[in-house]
Structure 1
Amino acid sequence: MRFSRTNLNRRGFLTAGAASVAAFTSMLSFRVNASAGAGELLMVPAEPNPAGRFERLFVLKGDPLAGPISRIVTEAGNPVPAPVLEPGTRRVLRLMHFNDMHNHITDMHGKKGDTHRMAQIVKRVSAARAAAGEDEIVLLLSGGDDHTGSVFDELLGWSPEEYVADAGYRVNSAAGVDVAVLGNHEFDRGAEMLRIGIEKDAAFPVLTANVHGSAHLRRDRDYVAAAVGEVKGLRIGFVGLTTQVDTRVGQPDDPGMNVASPVQAIRNVMPALAEVSDVVVILSHCGYGTGQSRSGKAGAVRMIGEGDFDIAAAAGELTDKPVVLIGGHSHDRLNGEGLNPDNVIQGVLMTQAEANGKYLGEIAMSVGADQGRKAWFTHVGLHPVKPRDQRVAEDDPTFGALEQAGDYDAAFEAAHIDPLREALKGKLAESIGMVTAGDAVSTETVMADRYGRENALLNFMNDALVARSGEFPNGTVDLALFNATAILSGVADGPLSFGQWYDVMPYADQVHVAEMTGAQIRDMVQSNAKRIVRAEEEAELDLAGFVSRGFLHFSEGLRYRIEPGASAGETRAEEITLLGRPIEEMLERKFRVAINTYIRLGGFSEAWNGQAIGAGVAGEIKGMDLRGLDYKDTGLVYRNEIIAFIRDRGGISAEAGARLDGRLSVG
């Protein structure tokens, strides 16, 4: 979305006096090349999403990180007047929201049928907007991570020449999203591809106040720190925040991009934004909690750094205006049964709608003129998005909880998602081989084993990459590794399509080659051993979810045994051999190791960056830091190399490497 001036004759401030409207409009007369001064943000008119609900939209330009923002000014240089609602006036503001959609706009399944996630959301939001009374406002918001997770990502491509569509942003625009925040996975294919997606397919402003320094993505051109929308006389301020912990900074093609403290950003921006708003909405893609966050089973524990608790605590002290925080990143289901008092900090309500389009969140509040936070909450909750399973009969007790034809907006699906599916059709259905490896590579087995035992599918993948390295631009590698959380399913015997393999490894990893000594490999294996899910933990963990300890699997050239001991701190790797020889004989030798992007960048919350291993590992055990190794970038996509190997071998089989060979044993 490029930010431009709107037609100032558009309707706005419907309940304000005519003089107030005229005064505010006159203050927005334009200066040529207007820019914000020190301690200022410049309020610039922009085009709202035509499918959304803003009557007027303004983006706030300027540097939110240089220091506290003392005032927000118009392009004429005048301070923006405080919002005006007639005395006694109330508005009901209904915020519909989702987060971490990860391009699950429609989930396609050959046996269960298709789950039309975004079309279900559109049906509910459209109904709410149609039923809204004269004093009611319904907005639709995205909490970030609209990318990375389904085959629709392939339409974005890896270079400008490959671009077809930004499926997530294109569908969000058609769905009527009013504002979105940049999540960490927006950057997976590089800031250049994100820039193109925003420019071509985002009809709404994307926000982040704490990302800075990108060579490809420019603040105030491609994104802004904050925005202000007006509907029915109500002025709503928005500020976006992106996680520091898991965003891909330090990439070779964009070394200057970084993410500042979200807490400092909110401290800088909040007072001035609140001053010109009736209500402030924080779109925080930083994660629920603070530091190491635990929600539900321990598998959800992850390092989030400065999270929503810290942001809410800081924001709540800076204004007495109503403030809500719509979260993301940590995939938490919050306030599903109504407001949980634990989710209010310093008067700021925090909520989140899990992930992958499983829920649509809703916050409804009644805002009175000059009432601040007095009696402003009315409702908070989640609406389930129904999964499809066409195999279930109508008389089955679960039938009503499953998607049926009337549960989604079929016209929306046909107009906006079917064309994307058509563009993908050939790619999705393309056969890449046959699977004949049996239960060893089934989803049930792969999910159960990936966090602490040898895994046949990961053996196959790592060995495949070593085999493919004969065609790498920088030469062959001795070893390959891959992190357990990067595979999300197994495969079943029978024909294997591109789409099915995409479901196994959806993340946008490239192949990097590091030079490591035998001593460094030994230290890496010792760090890895402390990350396993121990036998006594398995019953308490959700092994189908993320156990974000950074456990790695290796190619066949590295073999070892894990001795669990009495605790993670006592766990040791024993009998380590490297290319058939004891590691002790190889400490001074140098080896070439293929490493995926996520681990090359330190594994973020999975602590291959010198930070303490989290996700329930006791004892503040520091992980090894892999970021400073000598890397050569191949420019190759990890997934594509595995697919090429599958094609070459005719599929996935024990003979092709999908088997257990004892390279890892435990106990």
Structure 2
Amino acid sequence: MDRRTLLKGIGLGTLASTLPVSAVAQNTQHKDNQIGFKRAPVNHKGDLEAIYVPSTDGEPLNLVGKQDFDLRILHVNDLHHRLMSASERGDTYQMAQIAKQVSSARSASGDNEAVIFVSAGDDHIGSEFDELLGLAPTSFEMSAVYRAYSAAGMDMAVIGNHEYDKQTEIAQLQISQDARFPVLSANLVGSIFDDYHYPYAVGIANGIRIGFIGLTTDEAIYTQTATDPNLTVSSPQKALSDAVSLLEEHVDVWVILSHLGYNGDLLGSTERHVLAFGDVDVANFMRKHSTKPASIIGGHTHTVLNERQLEPRNHFGTASIHQAGAYGRYLGEAIVKVRNGQHQGTEAKLLPVLPGHGEGKIQQPEDYDAAFQATYITPIMASLQEKLGEHLGRTDNIETISVATNDIDRYIGESAIANFMNDAVVHQSQYFPSGTVDIAVFNATGVKGLPVGQDITLGDIYKMMPYADDIVLIDMTGSQLLAMLESNIKRVYLRSELTPFGGDQDPRGFLERGFLHFSSRLRYGINTGENSVENQLVDVTFDDKPIDPDQLFKVAINSYLANGRGNWAGNEVTLGLTRPAKGFSIEGIAKEASIETGLLYRAELINYIKNAAEGKINQQTGVKIDGRVTVS
């Protein structure tokens, strides 16, 4: 009988038989400035033998420390619901590969070692599995990713900004129904569902006292919504400081689950986010304010760190920073070594998740845990099969709609797919209770391509438009519209900046400078300079007439932009530019007066394809480059 069985009892065979984790209120201060804790359920498939969480009716911790140990931290971040995926190269079983690597590491662990498995957030939103989350609590079926994590032995996770893309009540259902592990955030406060996550926890693994703290970014997260008006993201620095001062004497090692983002040296690449307080700040804080080794397990920026070893840029004395890219391309590994109570060093590397290959272009048996795939992932896929396999129509044989072509077009000018989406929403707006819109807008990063000359299913639309954006209506004056366009032209990428043309920016990725696409009645030109910040706006018309600054326009935007995401909160645009370009606040206009339609951009596009387009996805139904944007 191994150590885990001795300490935790016989592991339960199915997820249905495990107990959900349910959190408690976070106001846990006791008299004499002590903090109260109580035991929380552990994931019996994980490596933590006990978990202590803050509780109003708990007791102070009285745990014995350990002087000699190795803590192996296996970590993922920004999986975005990619449990498995298919491509021209073949099927990739991301989650089944990760589960195999976690299981193998635990089986091989020594007597003085613990192996924990953690996530740094943004586990949801970005694949067809989002369909199982439903559009409202009444249609929620499951969190496929939390269910899979639980089966793979996840020990702890943090709430990322995309966990709240749908209603917060759906977020708490994700946790209460399918997370058999604690979910943390010390600075996400005020929600009516606060009692479903913890700020921090102390976990015990092979006698090692591990202090876990969760931190969530205030960037690109839905807060203060109509259904959860007091939900806010407080200062991560203060939350971190408070947690460390309370737990320092009770832990041997720290694991900071940070969905704040990496703000260190990116070795020549343009940073994706400008962060007021990021992982480097967390590492410096831990180095100065704790005597215990700290591993900052990061997410949010999709950064590939420590691919072969712990890089010097991520080493801060007793603190280190780790991140494993995104979408399950890697499983990160960090090993913290402590001897005689002193930090001896931290090692790190990334374990690659192999793409589909070989005969039949599928994963080979040696690549993944076939039993895990069959037991947990296949049933989830089966529940989606009928829905995702629904036939919607057929694309013409036009290259502009392909994934490869659109990946480039969406960043450098017109995108046939974006044109199709926006024009479809304008058409569908005739059925909106609030009336027809003049202009529809969508951000470049949310637009992918479609198979060319093939039958199209619902699943293909999910791949083309992976994010569950609602339609929000705002009124803009002509002067505001012109100011938005002035900002937008600074955000377009020059062809020379992209990797296919010798640049360093990969258009297959998430290049969030914030470039926007518009429906057909709005037309304009961009005279390019040596750098996009030098670009000039020319020839702006609406219905072939110059824009009247005083005219009101009814504009359909997506909820991503309405919340200031994609660098549309008024901040300067800096990513890859020679100097900052003036920003524009779509968020500010939406906060003044907007209508939340409750309609999904994707759903309206699907309705358009089914009805007005009669299943035809071609130039006649709107998939075209028509000169609404000229770049010269």
TM-score in terms of structure 2 length = 0.91
1:226 correspondence with 2:200: yes
SS at match of 1:434: strand
For 1:51 and 1:506, the matched residues in 2 are separated by: 31
How far residue 518 of structure 1 moved from its aligned partner, in angstroms, is 1.3
Cα distance in 2 between the residues matched to 1:501 and 1:34: 44
- In the comparison of the two structures, how many residue pairs are matched? 601
Does the Cα contact within 8 Å between 2:292 and 2:318 map onto a contact in 1?
Answer: no
Matched, 1:105 2:69: no
Q: Per the alignment, in what secondary structure is the counterpart of residue 411 of structure 2?
A: coil
- In the alignment, structure 1 residue 664 sits paired with structure 2 residue 624: no
The secondary structure found in structure 2 opposite 1:239 is strand
Structure 1 position 596 matched with structure 2 position 558: yes
2:486 corresponds, among 526, 549, 566, to 526
Q: How far is 1:304 from its partner?
A: 3.0
Aligned-pair identity in percent equals 39
* Aligned counterpart for 1:549 among listed residues 505, 513, 517: 513
Q: C-alpha deviations, 1:452-482, integer Å up to 9, x for none?
A: 2111111111000000001112111011010
2-structure distance, mates of 1:296, 1:490: 32
Q: Is the 8 A contact 1:34 1:75 kept in 2?
A: no
Q: Distance in 2 between matches of 1:641 and 1:179?
A: 37
Whole-Å separation in 1 of the counterparts to 2:55 and 2:260: 22
Aligned residues of 1:482 and 1:554 also touching (Cα < 8 A): yes
Q: Would you say the 8 A contact 1:229–1:235 is kept in 2?
A: yes
1:637 CA displacement: 0.8
Aligned Cα root-mean-square deviation (Å) = 2.1
- Note the alpha carbon deviations across 1:109-168, whole angstroms, 9 max, x for none: 4x5442111111111111121122222211111111110111011101111111111101
Question: What secondary structure sits across from 1:241 in the alignment?
Answer: strand
Among 568, 579, 595, the alignment partner of 1:632 is 595
User: SS of the counterpart of 1:224?
Assistant: coil
Q: Residue 140 in 1 paired to residue 135 in 2?
A: no
Matched, 1:515 2:486: no
C-alpha displacement of 1:197:
1.0
Contact 2:324/2:330 (<8 A) preserved: yes
Unpaired runs of at least 5, structure 1:
1-9, 13-32, 63-73, 394-401
The superposition leaves residues 189-223 of structure 1 with CA deviations (integer Å, 9 ceiling, x where unpaired) of 121100111111110000011111123x21xx200
Equivalent position of 2:173 in the other structure: 196
Distance 1:489 1:304, change over 3 A: farther
Distance 1:199 1:295, change over 3 A: farther
In 1: Cα distance, 2:225 partner to 2:579 partner: 31
Distance 1:391 1:84 in 2: 51
Task: In structure 1, give the amino acid aligned to 2:165.
Answer: D
- Which amino acid in structure 2 is aligned with residue 97 of structure 1? H
Measure the CA separation in 2 of the matches of 1:313 and 1:347.
10
Counterpart residue number, 1:253: 227
- State yes or no: 1:580 paired with 2:557: no
Counterpart of 1:642 in structure 2 is 605
d(CA) in 2 for partners of 1:106 and 1:570?
Answer: 42
Match of 2:18 in 1: none
Q: What SS does the aligned partner of 2:586 have?
A: coil
Look up the equivalent residue of 2:522 and give its one-letter code: L
1:608 and 2:568 matched: yes
Quick one: which amino acid aligns to residue 555 of structure 1? S
Query: Which TM-score applies when normalising by structure 1?
Result: 0.86
Change beyond 3 A, Cα 1:599–1:294 = farther
Deviations 1:407-449 (A, max 9, x none): 1111111111111111101111111110015101111110111
Give the CA deviation at 1:61: 4.3
Aligned mates of 1:569, 1:144 — CA distance in 2: 33
How far residue 391 of structure 1 moved from its aligned partner, in angstroms, is: 5.6
Shift, 1:60, TM fit: 2.5
Match of 1:36 in 2: 29
Question: Structure 2 CA distance, aligned partners of 1:376 and 1:135?
Answer: 16
Structure 2 unaligned blocks of 5 or more: 1-5, 9-25
2:96 to 106, 114, 119: 119
- Cα distance in structure 2, aligned partners of 1:297 and 1:570: 21
C-alpha contact 2:439 2:521 (8 A) present in aligned 1: yes
Matched residue of 2:427: which SS? helix
Structure 1 residue 363: Cα displacement: 1.3
Q: Distance in 2 between matches of 1:295 and 1:553?
A: 31
Secondary structure class of the residue paired with 2:523: strand
2:279 counterpart of 1:308 = yes
CA distance in 2, matches of 1:553, 1:391: 41
User: In the aligned structure 1, how far is the partner of 2:533 from the partner of 2:107?
Assistant: 59
Residue pairs, 1:164-563, within 5 angstroms: 164-215=141-192, 217-218=193-194, 221-289=195-263, 294=266, 297-298=269-270, 300-369=271-340, 371-373=341-343, 375-377=344-346, 379-390=347-358, 403-538=363-498, 539-540=502-503, 541-563=505-527
Measure, in 1, the Cα distance between the counterparts of 2:268 and 2:134. 36
Secondary structure, counterpart of 1:171 in structure 2: helix
User: 2:409 corresponds to which letter in structure 1?
Assistant: D
Match of residue 75 from structure 1 = 58
| Aligned partner of 1:154 among 120, 131, 144 | 131
Q: Is the 8 A contact 2:318 2:345 kept in 1?
A: no
- DSSP-derived class of the 1:41 partner: coil
Cα deviations by residue, 1:305-343 (Å, 9 ceiling, x for unpaired): 311011111121111111111111111111111111110
1:58 maps onto 2:39 in alignment: no
Measured against aligned partners, the alpha-carbon deviations of 1:500-536 in whole angstroms (never above 9, x if no partner) come to 1111111120000101111111111111111111244
1:566 offset after TM fit, Å?
Answer: 4.5
SS at match of 1:405: coil
Partners of 2:422 and 2:218 in 1: CA distance:
30
Name the amino acid aligned to 2:342: G
1:651 is the counterpart of 2:629:
no
2:20 aligned partner: none
2:146 and 2:222 map into 1 onto residues whose CA distance is: 20
Q: Give the Cα separation in 1 of the matches to 2:364 and 2:533.
A: 51
Query: Residue 96 of structure 1: CA displacement?
Result: 1.0
Distance 1:392 1:635 in 2: 42
2:608 partner SS:
helix
**Pair 1:132–1:489, CA change in 2 (3 A):** same
Native 8 Å contact 2:65 2:251 kept in 1: no
| Equivalent-residue separation in structure 2 for 1:486 and 1:384 (angstroms) | 26
Deviations 1:320-378 (A, max 9, x none): 11111111111111111111111012431111111111111111222234x232x143x
Q: Distance in 2 between matches of 1:143 and 1:333?
A: 13
Residue type matched to 2:45 in 1? A
